[in-house]
Structure 1
Amino acid sequence: MRFITFRLLITLLFFSILISCKNEIKKGLTSEKINTKSSIKYASGFNIEYFETYKKLIVNAPYQDSKETFEFILTGINSAEKGIKTPVNSIVVTSTTHIPMLELLNVEDKLIGYPNTDYISSKKTRDLINSGAIKELGNEESINTELLLDLNPELVVGFSLNSNNKMFVTIEKLGIPVILNGDWLEETPLGRAEWIKFFGVLFDKEKLADSIFNEIEKNYLTAKNIALKSNIKPSIISGGLFKDIWNLPAGESFEAAFLNDANTDYLWVNSAGKGSLSLNIENVFEKGKNADIWISPSFYSNLTEIEKANDLYSKFKAFTNKEVFSFVNKRGEKGGIIYFELAPARPDLVLKDLIKIAHPELLKDYKFTFFEKLK
């Protein structure tokens, strides 16, 4: 009887301690919010809130037409539902746009896996791939989950075009946390670049992320003001044919914002929409045949390819005057286009390129980062 009573007391004491610990954790995760102003200035897709004992990363609309909001508790311990321990020491990302963010924060060595590594252009990260430090995970739409499980990263940062993301659900069921990154949905160049703060909070490098972004913002706004010194606004057409459809930026898109900030007259600036417009070549020719400059003519790498692709192409004034500029020839070791990887993180360099194209007299000593004049 005494033995039973003693064992009962030990059991009660164990549950008392367990409940007490849970209450302490719960108490910590319901602590008061620290009244600090959000550091997010341009991005609409995420926010960061600070509490006494943890941080909350909020991702708004991580895919097109999403009405969901995802919240993640970031703590120094593995204690909360949907909780993620920070700083993250091993990560898998799924978009090349994430690579420059990691490199700017000096945490590229935390990347242990990536789908379709051939798309990565940065020499810094390519060296890690070539050394075997970053493993190939197959296709971004169907990651090799067996290999992912062997790697066992602390976090996967994914992106999804819609709510049908069964692969990420499977990854979460394996016990690996997933956060969807919606940087590609931002509608302004600086909004996209500000997602470095998203990665900053994951690696406990908020101050460094803020400092890097502030410098990019400063460079961008300085360049924008330089562009305004010109009284000439050259007219611009953009895009080209893909399967008989001419795709070009809509007037409210981030590409149109670039062209506006470069002090140019983008001919479709007043069109509605935040994505792209799909037009036929006759309509584009009617409106843009006398445009001064042609930016990003699909994936053609030289003027000869453009001329052979369609009879109307060579009749554009910009083509005749050889004022055609593209970023497709600047590629990494494995053929990945550097613009697609680096441009979202460095909109200041994109803007300078566009100013150099439209107003070369304003940036005489500047050399292109992404674009070049096609020959």
Structure 2
Amino acid sequence: MNIFKSALLIISIILFTISCNTKDSKKVEEKSTSSIKYAKGFDIVKTDSETKLIIKSPYPGATGETVYSIISEKPSKLNEIQTPLKSIVVTSTTHIPNLEMLNVENKLVGFPNTTFISSKKTRKLIAQKAVQELGHPDHISTENLLDLNPDIVMGFSVNANNKMFATIEKIGIPVVFNGAWLEETPLGRAEWIKVFGILFDKEIKADSVFSNIEKNYLEAKAIAKNSKNKPTVVCGGLYRDVWYMPAGNSFEATFLKDANTDYLWKDSQGSGSLSLNVENVFDKGQNAEYWFSPGMHATTNDLKQSNFISSKMDAFKNNKIYSYNNTKGETGGIWYFELSPVRPDLVLKDIIKITHPELLPNYKLTFYKKLN
């Protein structure tokens, strides 16, 4: 009998322990919060006791996550980041507008190949020597980086084998990979401003900025639905005998869909670029009403010289080719590449203004210009 009672007691203790652990787990889960709506490549998770920045997609094909603990005291590990950051080095011009929108551009201390930066605010800092030149983007000067000693380096990479960033981490400077360029939706790309928000203790500001961009984007999308026509569109251009075109699930195709246009390759698979034969593009797209982003050509004559078939397309004949290539900063950087990822609302309005001009009578184009 005593053995039986002892057994019951042990079982009761085990069940009670399991029950308590389960309740504790549920409590943690219930207290965890995340405000990320569109982005797939990162998350910010909070509990009552900690905040985690999780980078899910640092480069194409990444299989693991990198988790950073956001703390207020001095870090003792590379995966701990003390906030707010006092200094930062970024490696892509697409990071610059995020800093400026949060009013922390003065925390930028270094950048590789500053010539590519178009923003007037940051160019002024460069002229004042507040932002140091760090050399080629693929070969940042570690000596200069050590002199600057930034709190973090924000990088981007096309694969896992990036020796430069590995070296930077070895010298004790944390690297946070920004995978905004891998997002498949325009709003997903823009939402990465929240990463900068958590790093600079500007979460409320970042949420507000993104909410306004989201609101503008969705309003523009709703306006586009009022159009009675849906003009046909062809995109991309020829490079070394291959015509590169946005795939049907790409963020570029999403812009065209949300602008209420008929992108002729909308049903193609993939979220990147299509590699097409020029004859096939001509057969399908010769009668398209509009042609967007025809490569890096500055004029229609340049386009004709590089691709004789282009002049036979209706969009060429009717002067309805639009490019972002001719909107540049003072040192030659292309404004679209720098600003458009964080301002998809302006890109969408550009496309609506071009294809449905009656819907946005007072809007002026930000990125695109007619190719003349």
Instruction: Tell whether the structures are fold-level matches, with TM greater than 0.5.
Output: yes
The answer for the alignment partner of 2:198 in structure 1 is 201
Structure 1 CA distance for aligned equivalents of residues 49 and 329 of structure 2: 43
The answer for the alignment partner of 1:153 in structure 2 is 150
Structure 1 CA distance for aligned equivalents of residues 47 and 82 of structure 2: 15
Structure 1 CA distance for aligned equivalents of residues 169 and 29 of structure 2: 28
Residue 93 (structure 1) aligned with residue 90 (structure 2): yes
1:6-155 mapped onto 2 (5 Å cutoff):
35-81=31-77, 82-155=79-152
Residue 252 (structure 1) aligned with residue 221 (structure 2): no
Residue 224 (structure 1) aligned with residue 192 (structure 2): no
| Deviation of the 1:80 alpha carbon | 4.8
SS of match in other structure, 2:45: strand
SS of match in other structure, 1:97: helix
Structure 2 CA distance for aligned equivalents of residues 38 and 225 of structure 1: 27
SS of match in other structure, 2:350: helix
CA contact (8 A) 2:247 2:271 kept: yes
CA contact (8 A) 1:121 1:335 kept: yes
CA contact (8 A) 2:33 2:46 kept: no
Structure 2 CA distance for aligned equivalents of residues 242 and 309 of structure 1: 9
The answer for the alignment partner of 2:168 in structure 1 is 171
Residue 159 of structure 1 aligns to which amino acid in structure 2?
A: F
Residue 106 of structure 1 aligns to which amino acid in structure 2?
A: N
Residue 40 of structure 1 aligns to which amino acid in structure 2?
A: I
The answer for the alignment partner of 1:309 in structure 2 is 306
SS of match in other structure, 1:142: coil
Residue 60 of structure 2 aligns to which amino acid in structure 1?
A: Q
The answer for the alignment partner of 2:24 in structure 1 is none
1:335-354 mapped onto 2 (5 Å cutoff):
335-354=332-351
CA contact (8 A) 1:38 1:47 kept: yes
Residue 262 (structure 1) aligned with residue 259 (structure 2): yes
Q: 2:366 aligns with which of 355, 366, 369?
A: 369
1:266-345 mapped onto 2 (5 Å cutoff):
266-345=263-342
The answer for the alignment partner of 2:12 in structure 1 is none
Structure 2 CA distance for aligned equivalents of residues 211 and 80 of structure 1: 32
Residue 69 of structure 1 aligns to which amino acid in structure 2?
A: E
| Deviation of the 1:108 alpha carbon | 0.3
| Deviation of the 1:169 alpha carbon | 1.0
Residue 276 of structure 1 aligns to which amino acid in structure 2?
A: S
Structure 1 CA distance for aligned equivalents of residues 40 and 308 of structure 2: 43
The answer for the alignment partner of 1:356 in structure 2 is 353
C-alpha RMSD over aligned residues: 1.2
Structure 2 CA distance for aligned equivalents of residues 113 and 153 of structure 1: 8
CA contact (8 A) 2:98 2:193 kept: yes
| Deviation of the 1:243 alpha carbon | 1.0
Structure 2 CA distance for aligned equivalents of residues 346 and 252 of structure 1: 20
CA contact (8 A) 2:261 2:355 kept: yes
1:34–1:143 CA distance, 2 compared to 1 (3 A) = farther
Structure 2 CA distance for aligned equivalents of residues 173 and 361 of structure 1: 57
Greater shift, 84-93 or 43-52, is seen at 43-52
Residue 168 of structure 2 aligns to which amino acid in structure 1?
A: I
Structure 2 CA distance for aligned equivalents of residues 79 and 366 of structure 1: 48
Structure 1 CA distance for aligned equivalents of residues 164 and 147 of structure 2: 16
The answer for the alignment partner of 1:184 in structure 2 is 181
Structure 2 CA distance for aligned equivalents of residues 36 and 171 of structure 1: 32
Identity of aligned residues (%): 58
1:60-113 Cα offsets, whole Å, 9 max, x none, are 021001101000011001245321100001000001110000000000000000
| Deviation of the 1:34 alpha carbon | 7.4
| Deviation of the 1:36 alpha carbon | 4.7
1:126–1:95 CA distance, 2 compared to 1 (3 A) = same
Residue 366 of structure 2 aligns to which amino acid in structure 1?
A: T
The TM-score, its normalising length taken from structure 2, stands at: 0.91
Residue 317 of structure 1 aligns to which amino acid in structure 2?
A: D
Structure 2 CA distance for aligned equivalents of residues 80 and 217 of structure 1: 37
Residue 272 of structure 1 aligns to which amino acid in structure 2?
A: Q
CA contact (8 A) 1:75 1:86 kept: yes
1:235-283 Cα offsets, whole Å, 9 max, x none, are 0000101111110100000000000000000000000010000112111
Residue 155 of structure 1 aligns to which amino acid in structure 2?
A: I
| Deviation of the 1:33 alpha carbon | 7.0
CA contact (8 A) 2:54 2:67 kept: yes
| Deviation of the 1:51 alpha carbon | 3.0
Structure 2 CA distance for aligned equivalents of residues 296 and 233 of structure 1: 19
SS of match in other structure, 2:366: coil
